[in-house]
Structure formats: C-alpha cells, structure tokens
C-alpha cells in the first residue's frame, strides 16, 4: 500500500516541513516494528539506551519518526526513560518549527491485561506539551474489549488507532497488516494545530533570548550614563549601545539588518518623545516622596506596581513589568537617592522600552515569515509598536488623556 502524509494540509506541512513524531511505550509493544513497517525499512534494535536521533524518514513522506527506549518492568529504568524523553522534548521545543517534536504515538499492546499497565500519569504529563495519539499495536481483533473504550475515555488522548504492523498468523487467525494509513490520517488531522504551536514555541524562544539582549543593553547604557567615556558624548554612546542591542535582537530572530537602518529605528523610537514622558513620570510618581531620600530601587518598584495596576492594555505589558526587577538587580545605583539618578534611570528605562517594542515588532515579522506570508515593513511595524507603547504610557500614567490605572 502506498502511504501518504500531509497532502490535505499543505500550508501546515510547508510551515513545519515535516511532522516529527516520537513513538513511546513499553518494551516489546511493537514500536520499532511499527516504524519499520511504515517506512519500509529495517530499524536497528539498538535503541534500548537512547532516542534514535536523527529520526527515521522515507523519501516522499513528510513525517520523521523517533524511536525511543521502551519502558521495562523496573521503576528505576522507567523513570530514567521518562526523564530522557521529557528532556528531549523540551530541548527540541526551543528550536525551529521543523526541529521540534510535534506529536506522540503512545503504543499499547492489544494483549495488555490490566488498566494499571497504561500509564495515565505519564500520558497526562506529556499531553500538556504535545498531542498524544494512542496506538493499539498487534490489534488482532481478539484483544480485550475494555481496552479501546478505556483509552478513548482518557481525555488527554486525541485519538485511538488500531494497528497491525506485520502480518500475524496463528492457528486461529491470519491477519494482514492494517491501520498504518489510519494512523497517518489521524496524525495529519492534528497538523494545523501542530504547526500553530510549533511557530508559537519558536517565536517565544527567540523572544525569551532577546530579553537577555534587552537586559544586556540596559546594563551597558546604565554604565555609560554613570561612567562616561572621556571625549565621547554620552548621547552618541547611548545611541550606539541601543543600536547594538537592536542588532543583537534582530540576529536572534534570524535577521541581519544593517547598522544605518537600525540606528535610524532607534532615532525614530526616541523621536516619539518617550524619554521626555518617562522623565516626567519618574519625577512625579505618586506615592514617592522626593523630599525624602527614596532610592532608585524604591522608585522602580513603585513604577512596576503602577504598571501592574494599569487597566490599559498593551501586548507586551507583562514583559515591561518583568524588565523592572532585572534593572534593579544589576543596578549599581539601586541604593542611591533617586533625585541624583533620574536622568540615568530614564535613559535605561527608555532603552528597555525600545527593546521590548522592538522584540514585539520582530515577533510579528517572524510570525509572517513562518506562516509564509509577506513580511511586514519592519519600520512601519516598529513605529506602530512604539506608538502603542506611548499611548499606553500616556493613558496609564494619566499624562494628557484620562488616567487609566486602577485605583
Ligand atoms: N506479527 C506481528 N508481530 C509484531 C508486530 N509488532 C511487533 N511484533 C513483534 O513483537 C516483537 C517486539 O516488537 P518490537 O517492535 O521490537 O517492540 P519494541 O520494543 O516496542 O520496539 C517483535 O518480535 C516483533 O516482530 C505486529 O504488528 N505483528
Ligand atoms: Mg524497539
């Protein structure tokens, strides 16, 4: 029989290139036989210790299958294998969409005798990350009648599919292979969801890495503000550091943008007047007594509390709030009285905000790229993000328009 996969969901397949499936289950249930039969090739039996990587593939079939060590009748061995599998899934999750694990085939032998042999706990924990399809292997038709309904009753299992991977001939029956096409068909049905999740994971991991560059940029800008380089005007140093930060973020998203373009973006960002607004806010935070000596730490905390309480929405509000404690951790001035540092803290906050808005713009570009849509204009997307940020700040802190934060 000629097997096919993915043709009914060409867009999803284009986005993830191939569907990566991890086959799991007890030793001897027929994992390797299933893979070998599906891909029409011999599968080495050496997978007792580790996951088969690279996965098994067959030209023309956009699926890649990873064989895994089977669970044995030994708690310690089981825990080790489960940990190995969890680690592998997690490690792949931060990679490109085509390198992530997309689905699980949980194999259960049709001759399983007790419900307790089905590891519901394990299924649930894996199903939190990935769609799980239960495969009843060596399904001869004489299996226990409770098995299929029982598996169907487990809500985390997306589908239950019966398979006979190799002809099985006994004095009582002779069953030819069947079910491999249904298994592929069932998996194919998950493709749209799979592609969506894979893209989200890949973008999230790039955004998370980019926040490292944001913190890095803020630290450097702070140092530059406090320990100016002789003969070099501070604004130039700051602009250079901010451009560098945007370059690092761009690279994290896989874009190599030229320096001139990026420094122009920084300038556009600053031109929104964000620095002026931030200085005004920092100079007038309610709850901060500027006559008393309140430290940078106090003021940043208060700023975070206010952001948190705002009813105004912004896609990256949480990221802004996350940024603040980090600033304060490495901040050598965190214990200094705020009145002496408002200018420096303003520049640092401004740098952080530029990064956060830029990461948001990069996410939009990457999303379009992964989805195979035309890339949005980076400059326009950037302007749009900066504008949203400014609106948010203005409304949130009650500058110009009506106050937007919750009492
Ligand atoms: N006839 C038949 N034998 C099977 C089938 N699946 C597995 N087996 C046999 O069951 C044994 C264990 O299978 P294997 O694939 O090595 O299990 P694994 O440990 O899960 O990889 C082997 O002797 C296979 O030939 C099947 O669908 N039909
Ligand atoms: Mg095997």
pLDDT band at 329 (very low <50, low <70, confident <90, very high): low
Give, for 382, the enclosing helix (H) or strand (E).
Answer: helix 378-396
Q: Is 166 in the pocket of ligand 1 (CB under 6 A)?
A: yes
What domains appear along the chain, each with residue ranges and CATH number?
10-189 (3.40.50.300), 205-396 (no CATH)
Cα–Cα distance measured from residue 389 to residue 323, given in angstroms and rounded to the nearest whole number? 15
Atom of ligand 1 nearest to the CA of 37: 27
Q: What is the pTM of this model?
A: 0.90
The predicted model gives 124-148 an average pLDDT of 92
DSSP 155-213: TTEEEEEE-B-S-EE-SS-EE--B-HHHHHHHHHTTHHHHHHHHHHHHHHHHHHHHHHH
**Distances, alpha carbon 218 to alpha carbons 190, 331, 346, 354, in Å:** 42, 10, 11, 10
Residue 290's pLDDT is what?
A: 77
Section 225-230 average pLDDT: 74
Instruction: Express each pLDDT in 92-121 by its tens digit.
Output: 999 999 999 999 999 999 988 888 889 999
For residue 405, report the distance from its CA to the centre of ligand 2, in Å: 59
Lowest mean pLDDT among 37-41, 97-101, 336-340: 336-340
Asked whether the predicted pLDDT for residue 244 surpasses 80, the reply is yes
Is the pLDDT confidence value at 85 over 50? yes
Q: Among 33, 45, 142, 164, which residue has the most ligand 1 atoms within 8 Å of its CB, making it the best to mutate?
A: 33
156-189 pLDDT per residue, tens: 999 999 999 999 999 989 999 999 999 999 999 9
Ranking 28-42, 243-257, 307-321, 324-338 by mean pLDDT, the lowest is 324-338
pLDDT of residue 73: 92
- Residue 404 confidence (pLDDT): 41
Contacts 24+ apart (CB under 8 A), 144-151: 144/110, 144/111, 144/112, 144/113, 146/115, 147/108, 147/110, 147/112, 150/115, 150/118, 151/108, 151/118
Q: Among residues 96, 145, 101, 91, which one has the least CA distance to residue 127?
A: 101
Distance in angstroms (rounded) separating the CA atoms of residues 407 and 394? 16
Q: Mean pLDDT across the stretch 319-327?
A: 78
Q: How confident is the model at residue 229 (pLDDT cuts 50, 70, 90)?
A: confident
Confidence of residue 306 (pLDDT cuts 50, 70, 90): confident
In angstroms, how far is CA 224 from the centroid of its own chain?
33
DSSP assignment of 322-360, as one string? HHHHHHHHS-TTTTSBHHHHHHHHHHHHHHHHHHHHHHH
Q: Is the pLDDT of residue 299 over 90?
A: no
Q: Please identify, by atom number, the ligand 1 atom nearest to the C-alpha of residue 177.
A: 27
The closest alpha carbon to 247, from 203, 200, 214, belongs to: 214
The residue-averaged pLDDT of 206-225 equals: 90
Q: In testing the pocket of ligand 1, which one of 30, 52, 143, 177 has its CB within 8 Å of the most ligand atoms?
A: 30
Q: What is the pLDDT of residue 222?
A: 82
H/E stretch holding 390 reads helix 378-396
What pLDDT, on the 0 to 100 scale, is given for residue 395?
82
The 10 Å Cβ neighbour count of residue 374 is: 8
- Ligand 1: atom nearest CA of 164 is 27
The pLDDT of residue 292: 72
| Residue at token pair 């999303």 | 367
Residue 45 has pLDDT above 90, yes or no: no
Average pLDDT of the segment spanning 202-214? 95
Length of the chain: 407
Residue 403 banded pLDDT, cuts 50, 70, 90 = very low
- Above 50 in pLDDT, residue 405? no
Which of the two residues, 294 and 328, has the higher pLDDT score? 294
30: CA distance to ligand 2 center in Å? 7
Pairing mode of beta strands 174-175, 168-169? antiparallel
- Three-class SS state of 239: helix
- 127 Cα–ligand 2 center, Å: 22
Measured in angstroms, how far is the CA atom of residue 280 from the centroid of ligand 1? 72
Residue 369 reports pLDDT greater than 90: yes
Give the mean pLDDT of the chain. Answer: 90
In angstroms, what is the span from residue 180 Cα to ligand 1's centroid?
A: 14
> How big is the CA angle at 194 (ends 192 and 197), to the nearest 5 degrees?
110
Q: Which residues contact residue 141 at a Cβ distance below 8 angstroms, ignoring those fewer than 6 apart?
A: 173, 175
Q: Is the CB of 396 under 6 A from ligand 1?
A: no
DSSP 26: B
pLDDT at 386: 93
Predicted pLDDT at 161: 98
pLDDT of 301: 82
Residue 82 has, within 13 A of its CA and on its CB side, a CA count of: 16
Q: Where are the alpha helices (DSSP H) in 227-337?
A: 234-252, 259-271, 274-283, 296-309, 317-329
The sheet carrying 132-137 orders its strands as 56-58, 61-67, 19-25, 103-109, 132-137, 157-162
Which residues are within 8 A (CB) of 298 and not within 5 positions of it... i.e. 6 or more apart?
288, 338
For residue 78, give the H/E element and its range.
helix 75-93
**Partners of 295 in beta bridges:** 337
Task: Say if CB 167 and CB 175 are below 8 A apart.
Answer: yes
Q: Is 70 in the pocket of ligand 1 (CB under 6 A)?
A: yes
> For residue 131, which of 104, 163, 164, 96 has the smallest C-alpha distance?
104
């Amino acid at each position: 029989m000629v097997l096919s996969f993915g043709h009914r969901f060409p867009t999803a397949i284009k986005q993830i290139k191939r569907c990566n499936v991890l086959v799991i289950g007890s030793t001897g249930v027929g994992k390797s036989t299933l893979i070998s039969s599906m891909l029409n090739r011999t599968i080495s039996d050496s997978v007792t210790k580790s996951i088969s990587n690279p996965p098994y593939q067959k030209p023309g079939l956009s699926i890649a299958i990873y064989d895994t060590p089977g669970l044995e009748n030994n708690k310690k061995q089981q825990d080790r294998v489960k940990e190995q599998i969890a680690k592998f899934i997690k490690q792949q999750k931060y990679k490109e969409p085509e390198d992530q694990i997309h689905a699980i085939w949980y194999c259960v032998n049709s001759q399983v005798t007790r419900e307790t042999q089905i590891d519901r706990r394990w299924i649930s924990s894996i199903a939190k990350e990935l769609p799980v399809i239960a495969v009843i292997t060596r399904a001869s038709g004489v299996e226990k009648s409770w098995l299929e309904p029982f598996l169907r009753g487990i809500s985390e299992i997306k589908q239950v599919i019966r398979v006979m991977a190799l002809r099985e001939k006994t004095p009582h029956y002779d069953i030819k292979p069947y079910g491999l096409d249904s298994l592929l068909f069932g998996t194919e049905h998950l493709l749209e969801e799979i592609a969506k999740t894979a893209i989200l994971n890949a973008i999230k991991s790039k955004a998370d890495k980019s926040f490292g560059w944001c913190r890095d940029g803020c630290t450097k800008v702070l140092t530059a503000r406090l320990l100016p380089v002789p003969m070099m005007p501070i604004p130039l140093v700051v602009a250079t550091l901010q451009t560098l930060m945007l370059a690092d973020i761009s690279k994290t998203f896989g874009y190599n943008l030229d320096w001139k373009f990026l420094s122009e973006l920084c300038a556009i960002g600053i031109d929104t007047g964000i620095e002026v607004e931030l200085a005004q806010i920092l100079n007038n935070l309610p709850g901060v007594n500027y006559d008393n000596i309140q430290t940078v730490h106090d003021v940043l905390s208060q700023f975070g509390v206010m952001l948190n309480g705002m009813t105004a929405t912004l896609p990256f509000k949480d990221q802004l709030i996350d940024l603040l404690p980090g600033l304060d951790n490495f901040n050598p001035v965190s214990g200094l009285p705020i009145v002496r540092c408002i200018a420096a803290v303003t520049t640092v906050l401004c740098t952080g905000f530029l990064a956060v808005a830029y990461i948001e713009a990069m996410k939009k570009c990457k999303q379009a790229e992964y989805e195979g849509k035309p890339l949005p204009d980076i400059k326009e997307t950037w302007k749009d993000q900066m504008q949203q940020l400014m609106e948010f700040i203005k409304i949130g802190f009650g500058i110009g328009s009506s106050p937007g934060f919750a009492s």
